[in-house]
């Protein structure tokens, strides 16, 4: 047995812990209007959201291009860790994981100052999955929050608004 194979056989697997408990199930269609069959409900850990194949919207901006990378002050350590996990998932293109963590933030550890940022990331992830009605819903929630989002560039927000129209 080669040394590398032996080392791999005895090394424990590297497991990244999520801030979201495994028993949390995100209700993806909660509050979203319309009867769209493609959205899963609920979204347990590890399950992926199937992209919209019926009427997908076009959105190709990568997270690296669209994020402002502006630090947000005032987050507690749990919220900061959750946002780091969301940003990592968005950077990797794991839209389902990002949405699941965002829903957990929204329903659990969430602070009001980040409300618009949560919805901006939700819109971004759902745009990549092709769900324009979810993008529109998230943009409506940003407006209702009465706060400015600080995590996506203005041109990305303009692109998201065009998708939702």
**How far is it, in rounded angstroms, from Cα 31 to Cα 114?**
19
Round to whole Å and give the CA distance between 4 and 18.
29
Query: Are 137 and 32 spatial neighbours (Cβ–Cβ below 8 Å)?
Result: yes
Q: What is the pLDDT of residue 151?
A: 93
Cβ neighbours of residue 40 closer than 8 Å, sequence gap 6 or more: 28, 47, 49, 50
Q: Which residues of 18-30 are buried (b: 16+ CB within 10 A; e: fewer)?
A: bbbeeebebebbe
Each residue's pLDDT tens digit, 56-87: 888 999 999 999 988 888 888 888 888 999 99
Q: What is the dihedral of CA 67, 155, 143, 110, to 10 degrees?
A: 0
Confidence of residue 156 (pLDDT cuts 50, 70, 90): very high
pLDDT, one tens digit per residue, over 4-56 is 444 344 444 444 567 766 666 555 555 555 554 444 445 667 778 888 888 88
Q: Give residues with Cβ within 8 angstroms of 98, minimum separation 6.
A: 86, 89, 90, 121, 125
Closest C-alpha among 33, 72, 43 to residue 152: 72
Omega cis (within 30) before 94 = no
């Amino acid at each position: 047995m080669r040394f590398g194979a032996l080392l791999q056989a005895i090394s424990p697997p590297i497991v990244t812990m999520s801030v979201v408990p495994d028993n949390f199930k995100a209700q993806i269609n909660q509050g979203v209007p319309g009867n769209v069959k493609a959205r899963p409900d609920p979204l347990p850990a590890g399950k992926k959201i199937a992209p919209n194949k019926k009427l997908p919207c076009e959105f190709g901006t990568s997270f690296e291009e669209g994020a402002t990378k502006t630090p947000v002050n005032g987050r507690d350590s749990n919220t900061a860790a959750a946002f780091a996990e969301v940003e990592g998932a968005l950077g990797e293109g794991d839209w389902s994981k990002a949405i699941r963590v965002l829903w957990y933030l929204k329903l659990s550890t969430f602070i009001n100052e980040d409300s618009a940022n949560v919805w901006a990331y939700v819109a971004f992830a759902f745009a990549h999955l092709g769900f324009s009605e979810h993008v529109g819903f998230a943009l409506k929630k940003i407006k209702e929050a009465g706060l400015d989002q600080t995590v996506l560039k203005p041109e990305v927000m303009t692109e998201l608004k065009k998708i939702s129209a």
